[in-house]
Amino acid sequence: MAWRLHLTNQGIGRLDLLRGVAANDQPLLAAWLRRDRVAFFDVETGTAAADYTLKMMDARNRRDERWPEFVSGLVAPNKAFLPVVQAGTVTIYASLDGKLRLYHVDEADLFLDVGGGEVQLKPVAVFEAEVEFIAAGLDPLLGTVAAIAADGKLHIFQQHIHIGAFDVGLQPDEEMRPLVAMAQGGRGAAIFVSDGRSVVLTDSGGTILKRLNTHYFINMMACSANGAVLATSDIEAGVVRVYDGAELLPTRQRHAIDLVATATQVQLMADLPPLSIALSALTI
């Protein structure tokens, strides 16, 4: 069932599909209305499940004795750990079991926390200058980390081990934010990266499998858990495009406003958004 809800007049910060821990756990959609507020809805019907306002902590002060309790509490009603939480200037990525966390600090530095032991992720080459990581992602199943440096290179870590830095042809600039989307294990742990003008698919060893140069500017990108499907959003035309994840071949596309217009309205009264509004969040 396709459904729609009017949640806020502001842009939604992020969307996540949460499958739950056990087979009988209710699949939920998490919608971040603010950095400290997340609402949960039944994936099939759009029925509200919960609405959390988090008491955020300063993620720079992770030595605080209250920090372990804080991060262990970042859990949805269906017991799934929240995969991404924005705590000030620190983005927190969590593994499926919550035992591993990646901290992306100031869109520059990466720290990996495994069981309470934290280590900074850096290239292994002694001659390597300080690397500024401007985008990052975490495979929540295997713990693989993919990060895009300011020079456009893709760095891959298997947990704390630096696999390598790979020139995959990205050319990030100040106008377009680089994007990382990662499958959850399997399929060679597919990694999708973009500089807003192209999409590159690599495996967990940094080998380029496919490249797609786009005729539009990408402002959002998401892949399915198994990496079989990739979706992008066109920042100018408001078009959502879906691709085969293995070949990067287009399978369908629709204007976002058309998708909203044809969805079942869950609320009694809710106007359609203006035609000119841009998408602010995307997930598969």
214: burial class by Cβ within 10 Å (0-12, 13-18, 19+)? middle
Report the 10 Å Cβ neighbour count for 36: 14
Q: What is the pLDDT of residue 129?
A: 67
User: Residue 274: which pLDDT band, with cuts at 50, 70 and 90?
Assistant: low
pLDDT score of 268 more than 60: no
pLDDT in tens, 153-172: 999 999 999 999 999 999 99
Q: What is the pLDDT of residue 187?
A: 57
Q: Which residues pair with 105 in a beta bridge?
A: 90, 109
Q: What is the pLDDT of residue 260?
A: 78
SS percent in the chain: helix, strand, coil, step 5: 5, 45, 50
Integer distance in angstroms from the first to the last C-alpha of the chain?
15
User: Residue 262: which pLDDT band, with cuts at 50, 70 and 90?
Assistant: confident
Q: Compute the C-alpha angle 208/210/215, nearest 5°.
A: 125
pLDDT in tens, 197-228: 999 999 999 999 999 999 999 999 999 999 99
Q: Which amino acid is at 120?
A: Q
Largest CA distance in the chain: 62
Whether domain 3-265 has CATH 1.20.1260.10? no
Which pTM does this prediction carry? Answer: 0.93
pLDDT in tens, 93-146: 999 999 999 999 999 999 999 988 999 999 876 555 689 999 999 999 999 999
Nearest Cα neighbor of 96 from 39, 196, 16 is: 16
